[in-house]
Chain A
Amino acid sequence: MKTAHRGGGPRRRPRVLRALPLTPAVLVMLAFLAGPIGYCVYLAFTDLQLTGQAESSFVGFDNFLDAFGDEDFLNAVWLTLVFTVLSSLIGQNTLGLGLALLMQRASKAVRTLTGGIVITAWVLPEVVAGFLLYAFFKRDGTLNAVLDWLHLPTQNWLFALPILAVSFANVWRGTAFSMLVYSAALNEIPKEIVESAQMDGAGGLRRLWHITLPMIRRSIGTNLMLNTLQTLSVFGLIWVMTRGGPGNDSQTLPLYMYEQAFQNSMIGYATAVALLLLVVGSLFSVVYMRLLRTEI
């Protein structure tokens, strides 16, 4: 912590009174954040349905056993994995680092222009980004027009390779975050270190591998965690582009959960899936906090 806390404060007040300003925030978070999470844990062990059934009963681990026996669920797990690895670990992270590295050397005008475009893609509302990428990947969309112009084979992307298309969409939308994180990290590397390595005759790739990357490794760690958590909860982008289809070919866990809850009315079962998603998110969250542990 940066500020020195010397205790005291405005006169010495009873501890309870001091904590009073926390109450509104704590109440809202308890009721609308902790509440649903607790309810999620409870519902996941029941067979609550949306319609038809007046009462729900406790079913133990049935929902989870059902899930792991369900092909559609396993398909959603697999697609979530593909989506996360392709778009977050590989796409956003590497492209963001690449952009940041290039920006270190580029002229100011090009840097500002590129940064502006990439950040605009990031700031756009999720649904709008979804529409733009839908138009881009659609059979008669821009991508095929460009490929055609280059005399390359075209493809009905949203039909043939939907998970690839939504992964690219997520890269388009999410890369700005990594770019900003890495630009900040690179700016903090002392110039002398890079220059002395240059003097010693280390080439660009060696400098990147032996100096730059080790020096920003904490940024890499935190960025990977945050990207992954973001990507795990993407819904609107995929919903707008493919609705999880065709068939189940781009149905990641959040879309599977939604379908189970509202198309199949299986609230209890969908909540079990939600709980699994929450547990995975929590694991990433804990690792992330360990990475940051010196900061608090």
Chain B
Amino acid sequence: MATRTFAARSRGPFLTPRTARRLAADLGLLALAAAFVLPLAWVVLSSLDEKADLRVQWPKEASFANFDAVLTDEITFTPLLNSLLLCGVATLLTVVCAALAAYPLSRYRSRLNRPFLLTILFATCLPITAIMVPVYAMFVQVELIDTMQGVIFLFAASQLPFAIWLMKNFMDGVPKELEEAAWTDGASPLQSLLRIVLPLMGPGVAVVTVFSFVMMWGNFFVPFMLLLSPDQFPAAVSINDFFGNRGTVVYGQLAAFSIIYSTPVIVLYMLVARRLGGGFALGGAVKG
């Protein structure tokens, strides 16, 4: 009731300090939101405008012509399919490896757990950009350069430390008691992981899956370095062609393609946003 006493002590009947503060906060946030929204407004409005240029403007004749123009095999479908293949397989690999790895870390006590987890946490923070030149040199040696599987393995390797960390934290939330009955019935660890633990931490698995996929979908540098043939380019790399090889840039089409390419990750993010939100980073490690 502290707030009510506060309101009663205020000077004016209409604008209490509390509402005044809220109004000020609202205005401040709206001003910041306006600044943040301008680049987003450009991509939405330009995608509907055949004569779009670089500034935000209302389309004189709104149409889906830009979308029609980019929805071809060469521009949209092949790169998106490549993205889906690269990120889908790499995500699958990441989630399976992470779930398996998290199980002993979460279920057994071992002297090696702590060093292992510290190494994982350390690897989570390493700038992956830095190792791309040696990775390139290494992939040339072992003939993984310009192959899908090379990118898939590198995606998985770079996402695994965080995925294991996150998965282990979710798995710790599943009480061991629930598994004990299964163990007495003679279930193997793999059976109890598949039948009991993973179903119980379904939302956690979903978060790891979606987060890994979103990170890979947006990754530009890895496929940019490791893939050379344009027919294997994912959308993150093929979008460069709008600038480089097509001569004059058709900004409306670029905007339309950007929207098509970004929509899956925005939708996926929204699906898991509640669990991802807040101090999700490093599985709650950021909490102060």
Contact = CB atoms under 8 A, between A and B. Distances in A.
A21 B103 contact: yes
Given A114-B33, A185-B288, A229 B38 contact: no
Contact of A106 (B29, B38, B214): B29
B55 A29 contact: no
Interface string B106-128: 11111010101110011101111
B36 A117 contact: yes
A125 B217 contact: yes
Interface residues of B, number: 110
A105 to B, nearest CB: 4
Contact of A10 (B114, B183, B285): B183
B30 A114 contact: yes
Contacts of B262: 123-125, 128
A127 B261 CA distance: 10
B63 interface: no
Contact of A118 (B33, B55, B154): B33
A57 interface: no
A239 B220 CA distance: 10
B258 interface: yes
B85 to A, nearest CB: 17
A19 interface: yes
B55 A11 contact: no
A218 interface: yes
B175 A140 contact: no
Given A142-B55, A223-B286, A126 B172 contact: no
A211 B267 CA distance: 38
A292 interface: yes
Interface in B209-248: 214, 217-221, 224, 235-236, 239-240
Contacts of A36: 131, 134-135, 138
A25 to B, nearest CB: 4
B78 interface: no
Given A128-B239, A222-B286, A107 B281 contact: no
B281 A226 contact: yes
If over half of B's interface residues share one DSSP class (helix, strand or loop), that class is named, otherwise mixed; here it is helix
A29 B123 contact: yes
Contacts of B281: 177, 181, 226
B40 interface: yes
A47 to B, nearest CB: 13
B65 interface: no
B280 interface: yes
Interface of A: 1-3, 5-7, 9-11, 13, 15, 18-22, 24-26, 28-29, 31-33, 35-37, 39-40, 43, 48, 95, 98-99, 102-107, 110-111, 113-114, 117-121, 123-128, 131-133, 135-136, 138, 140-146, 172, 177, 180-181, 183-185, 187-188, 195, 199, 215-223, 225-226, 229, 232-236, 239-240, 254, 257-258, 261, 267, 270-271, 274-275, 277-278, 281-282, 284-286, 288-289, 292, 295-296
25 contacts: A5-B109, A20-B104, A24-B96, A25-B100, A28-B153, A28-B156, A29-B160, A37-B126, A43-B137, A114-B29, A123-B262, A125-B261, A128-B239, A132-B258, A136-B42, A142-B38, A144-B55, A181-B286, A185-B279, A226-B281, A226-B286, A232-B129, A240-B240, A267-B136, A289-B118
